[in-house]
Amino acid sequence: MDLDLNNIWKKFLERIEKEVATFAFNTWFKDTRLVELRDNKAIVEVPMEIHKMHLRDSYSEMIEEIFTDITGTNFQMEYYLKEELENKDNFKFEDKDPDENFKTNLNPNYTFDTFIVGESNKFAQAIALAVAEKPGFVYNPLFIYSNSGLGKTHLMHAIGNYVHNSSKKRVLYVPAEKFVNDFRESYRNKDDKNFDALDQFKKKYRDIDVLLIDDIQYLEMAGGTQQEFFATFNELHNQNKQIVIASDRSPEDFQRLEDRLKTRFKWGIIIDIKPPDMDLRLNIIEKKLESQQINNFPADVKQYIANICTTDIRTLEGAISRVLAYATIMSGSDITLELAVEALKGYLGKTVFSKNNIEKVQKLVAEKYNLTIEDIKGKKRNANITEPRQIAMYICRNVLNESLMRIGNEFGGKDHTTVMHSVDKIEKAIKEDPKLEVEINSIVNNLR
């Protein structure tokens, strides 16, 4: 058997040597050795960790094609160091399941069956289903954008669940922040002699069939990671692996994202989801109550909630939950229109309040201090501009409850630490100067 393995690998290396440059052959292939063929796996010994990563990332397609041609069988290539192979008692590669620790991160409750369709989202739902039925071959990448709470994340999970449940394809859902953190962690754990952490990162994000990446706008605040995502995107797209991206804005609205990434986001199809219309809002209310087996919810209360919760689905569902909770707290009172109005007083004031956009805050603050919006968003450090700008950031953070990243982007692409500093400074100033709090409250009141 050893002789057979040696002959197989000799033929393999001879073929590879004809395909790659001499320097590449001597660096990456010459000192490799075929150790074992078992359970459709080809176990290959390599001299260093970096060989594992490079052979998988740069030559996998060529290696598999030539090896299959020589053996007549499709083998999965696995690479190990000599010391790993010698320690077989603790290292049983023959029993290793490549999917044993793989996690899709999918929410099983988010499916196409549970996605409620209306005029505002039926096109997005149809495109998402087409992608799920034939991943990698239609609309790749699929880019979905909308305001928060309109169902783009639900659609992403629906695609993932459909593919995962109907095939053996590997599906991975992650927020962009997780991608960034994983990449940074892989570099923190890497040194000149150990590339294992980076290797594992690449394997996680490239050895898959469908990548679902949410809140891609986070990459704007992580410039150093954009190059790695660009490489990951190219690797997957070149192998016809499906990429689905979700964002709170269209690619054209990114200010700090590399142009080459924005261009690639347009390769497939870009779809947006609009706020739900009246019919869809009522349908969502019905489905929500039906799922909770609630039958004593009056029609006029449903109509009231649908009329006042117009911005997103999450607010709508939250309003229903609040009314139900309020009725329970009030000793099981019957749900009436009067009870609903009372229950939603504070909730809706806060919700509608929080939906006022950052641009309105910037406009109100600029008017209050006789400045322009460009002053508020710009980089001038004049005292008469810096404090109003910090006040605007403070309101966006503490009143609108916007994320640090979003605020930074909307204020001329500032770093999140700058936003944090501005918010902290105004919080301290308010404690020392009651008049400042009055000024801020006057601006906040105009947001209503």
Give a yes or no: residue 68 inside a domain: yes
Same domain, 41 and 147: no
Give a yes or no: residue 114 inside a domain: no
How many whole angstroms separate alpha carbon 387 and alpha carbon 367? 14
CATH of the domain at 404: 1.10.1750.10
Same domain, 33 and 70: yes
Query: What six digits make up the tokens of 166?
Result: 């109907």
Same domain, 155 and 219: yes
CATH of the domain at 70: 3.30.300.180
Of 256, 272, 288, the last residue of a domain is 272
Domain residue limits at 78: 2-95
Same domain, 141 and 248: yes
Same domain, 133 and 60: no
How many whole angstroms separate alpha carbon 1 and alpha carbon 306? 73
The residues near 418 (Cβ < 8 Å, ≥ 6 apart) are 408
Of 238, 272, 306, the last residue of a domain is 272
Same domain, 223 and 296: no
Reduced to 3 states (helix: H, G, I; strand: E, B; else coil), residue 306 is: helix
How many whole angstroms separate alpha carbon 302 and alpha carbon 288? 11
Task: Give the DSSP H or E segment for 83.
Answer: helix 82-86
pLDDT digits (tens, 9 = 90+) for 87-144: 754 444 444 444 555 789 999 999 999 999 998 899 999 999 999 999 998 899 999 9
pLDDT digits (tens, 9 = 90+) for 33-50: 999 888 778 899 999 888
Total domain count for the chain? 4
How many whole angstroms separate alpha carbon 304 and alpha carbon 341? 8
Same domain, 304 and 438: no
- Pure H helices in 334-372: 337-343, 345-354, 358-368
Same domain, 196 and 146: yes
pLDDT digits (tens, 9 = 90+) for 187-241: 776 554 445 677 788 889 999 999 999 999 888 877 678 989 999 999 999 999 9
Read off the pTM. 0.58
Same domain, 149 and 196: yes
Of 95, 112, 130, the last residue of a domain is 95
- Please report which confidence band the pLDDT of residue 352 belongs to, taking 50, 70 and 90 as the band edges: very low
Q: Which residue has the higher pLDDT, 350 or 61?
A: 61
CATH of the domain at 262: 3.40.50.300
